Amino acid sequence: MKIDLTDTTSSKINKALVQGRRAIGTPAVGMVLTLVIVTDEENAYDALRAANEASREHPSRKLVVIKRVSRSPRDRAKARLDAEVRVGADAGTGETVILRLRGEVIDHAQSVVLPLLLPDAPVVVWWPVNAPTDPASDPLGALAQRRVTDMYNTEDPVRELAARAAAYTPGDTDLAWTRITPWRSMLAAALDQIACQVASAEVEGEEFNPSVELLAMWLADRLGIAVRRTASAGPGLTAVRLETDCGPIVLDRPDGSLATLCVQGQPDRAVALKRRETAELIAEELRRLDPDDTYASALRYGVERLGEAADDAAGAPAPAAGPSPDSSADASSADAPAGDASAGGDVAGGDGTAASAPAGKSGAKKAPAKKAAAK
């Protein structure tokens, strides 16, 4: 059932909702939350379709706030609110109110939305596009316990990560983080199967994809290792490689659908890791309305710090090869203290890496060591 209201008010919209519920025979309100979708006319259809699909799992009242651009000064000075109320089969599971704001009322959208919120129910605000840098300080975001954005739709997603980290408030989240939930689950499960130390990691994915950066920051933050970022043709994330002292762990997804998990000493396994639709992402975010501390920690790790750690790891000298079993000189030098230059072995640096001795002096140093071994 659809009810169109032209040049209306919030009070009339509430009356239309009650009238619509009675007309379809469901006067009781059985919804668990209010989902406020702030978008433009171009993206309203796709956002509402995703919200309707997610409402099968989370029955909700959906308020779609569309801020229409007024072209003339006269239109901008005149406030007008048009609404479309949908209940029953036309609204999925729950109720839908499409609000089209014009003129001065655009700057006071919270005054229109506030009377339409379900009493004693959580409020979630979702910006599919054009999200504010600080969602919590936005007038509509201040009404919500949970604020959902999508950095993938911004002009510079990587730069946006730093801005979101600076303005983070508990309750903020982003669909770029939600997209990597299956990747994080698979990598955590793979590490639980082995007792090895992770030395470094590499995350491969398409350029200017915030999900790739967030996965790299999550690995660096949780494991305390250097993570290198590698660009690929996509789609999305394509591979993650973990270097451990038990051998590499590789999760490779070249086609965006089926991935292969390779663990040293175990057979390769095919893993369903398809790219998910927006409706699945929104449904996942609505399952939890408490602050996501893991997302906050990964976000605050910082893209700049991620790049600096990768550069430091790339510039560090490679460890020297192990001693040869058929070389008495190498065997004797292995018994000498690490800081003894007369042993002719590698000197361990302060950072735990090995610095090789100069080639011109190695022969002179090894001869006394060989005589000492003979004695």
Res 336: pLDDT: 39
- Kindly provide the b/e burial profile for residues 53-82, where b requires at least 16 CB atoms within 10 angstroms of the residue's own CB: bbbebbebbbbbbbbeebeeeeeeeeebbb
* Mean pLDDT of the region 247-258: 91
For every residue of 66-89, DSSP letters joined together read EEPPP-SHHHHHS-EEEEEEEEGG
Residue for token pair 């999900």: 211
Res 76: pLDDT: 66
Query: What's the pLDDT band for 78 if we cut at 50, 70, 90?
Result: confident
Query: What's the pLDDT band for 315 if we cut at 50, 70, 90?
Result: low
Residue 191 three-state SS: helix
Q: Any residues with CB less than 8 A from the CB of 339 and at least 6 apart, and which?
A: 347, 348
For every residue of 278-290, DSSP letters joined together read HHHHHHHHTT--S
Q: Any residues with CB less than 8 A from the CB of 360 and at least 6 apart, and which?
A: none
Q: What is the pTM of this model?
A: 0.78
Cβ count near 170 (within 10 Å): 12
Q: Is the peptide bond before 210 cis (omega within 30 degrees of 0)?
A: no
More confident residue, 127 or 309: 127
Residue 322 pLDDT greater than 70, yes or no? no
Res 113: pLDDT: 96
Cβ count near 4 (within 10 Å): 11
Phi, then psi, of 315 in degrees rounded to 5: -85, -10
- β-partners of residue 81 are 101
* Mean pLDDT of the region 257-263: 91
d(CA 323, CA 330) in angstroms, rounded, equals: 6
> Which two tokens mark 313?
């790891």
Res 300: pLDDT: 92
Report the range of poorest mean pLDDT among 213-227, 267-281, 308-322: 308-322
Residue for token pair 């140093």: 365
Name the residue type at position 323.
P
Query: What's the pLDDT band for 20 if we cut at 50, 70, 90?
Result: confident
- Residue 255 is given by DSSP the state S
pLDDT tens digits, one per residue of 81-126: 999 999 887 777 789 999 999 888 998 999 999 999 998 899 999 9
Q: List the alpha helices (DSSP H) in the chain.
A: 10-23, 44-54, 73-77, 109-113, 157-166, 175-178, 181-192, 210-223, 278-285, 293-301, 303-315, 328-335, 359-374
Residue 330 pLDDT greater than 80, yes or no? no
Residue for token pair 């090995």: 354
Report the range of poorest mean pLDDT among 90-99, 129-138, 232-241: 90-99
Strands across the sheet containing 269-272: 226-232, 198-206, 237-244, 247-252, 258-263, 269-272
More confident residue, 326 or 165: 165
> Which two tokens mark 352?
């735990």
